[in-house]
Amino acid sequence: MLTLYGQEIESRLLLGTARYPSPEILRQSVLASKAGILTVSLRRETAGGKGGGVFFHLIRELGVRLLPNTAGCHSAREAVLTAKMAREVFGTDWIKLEVIGDHDTLAPDVFELVEAARILASEGFKVFPYTTEDMGVGEKLLAAGCEVLMPWCAPIGTARGPVNAAALKSYRSHFQGVPLIVDAGIGRPSHAAFVMELGFDAVLLNTAVAGAGNPVDMASAFADAIEAGRQGFLAGLLEPRDMAVPSTPVIGKAVFS
């Protein structure tokens, strides 16, 4: 069971709700993924006018915990304002905090991110910060009041998977006891299984499912991959070896002259 800010979540898959071909495919994908948390952008949906109301109705009908996000924000001030609006609309103090610093890579502005996290945590928000795999930034986010960290494994929407596996492994080792969710850059179920095998607690996806040829089947595939990766980690994975090791014992083998 995944525990985030004192709340138990059955699934270790967090699913985004943007860019699906239709509301019905979104609904089916959520059900197939068995996601425990759905992320939703207040800015994007409210900009759609009447369509936003239909979207919110569909999301609420699914009965899954919502995690509003501050997607599209480029400063601490903007992110804090968006978070406060989201709290009013969705009735939750959970917020996925995004403060983008670069238009091309959509990398977080870690300076503004830490400042926004500090302000929001002081006002009672449960902050889920989208960050890099920089451990120094992670420490500052924890000091600001975050109890969860969400490092990327590649830029948003690139589907490249873990581009710096060594850094992610070090990140997991450094922040023992802190819930860690890999957010952004995952493109295949095998990517999700890999980071779960490293010991990460959950994975947040959007484009990898919404942009697939069959989003519903892809959502199901990710659900299985994440569960398999988690079970593999708990079972104790073999570390790679430089030399071959026989799987069949040589003691007691037949001797021929």
Place of tokens 């992670």: 138
Determine the Cα–Cα distance for residues 225 and 158; give it in Å rounded to an integer: 19
Tell which residue, 20, 52, 15, 40, has the closest CA to residue 30: 15
Catalytic residue among 34, 96, 126, 140: 96
Provide the H-helix boundaries in 107-214. 110-122, 135-144, 165-174, 189-197, 207-210
Tokens 């006891």 locate to 177
Q: Measuring CA to CA, how many Å separate 3 from each of 7, 24, 110, 141? A: 5, 30, 25, 19
Spatial CA neighbour of 3 closest among 111, 148, 145, 146: 148
Three-point CA angle 241, 246, 251, nearest 5°: 140
Let me know if 140 is a catalytic residue.
no
Q: Cβ neighbours of residue 101 under 8 Å, at least 6 residues apart? A: 74, 107, 108, 109, 110, 112
Cβ-proximal residues to 84 (8 Å cutoff; 6+ apart), any chain: 123
If residue 151 lies in a helix (H) or strand (E), which one and from where to where? strand 150-151
Residues serving a catalytic function are 96
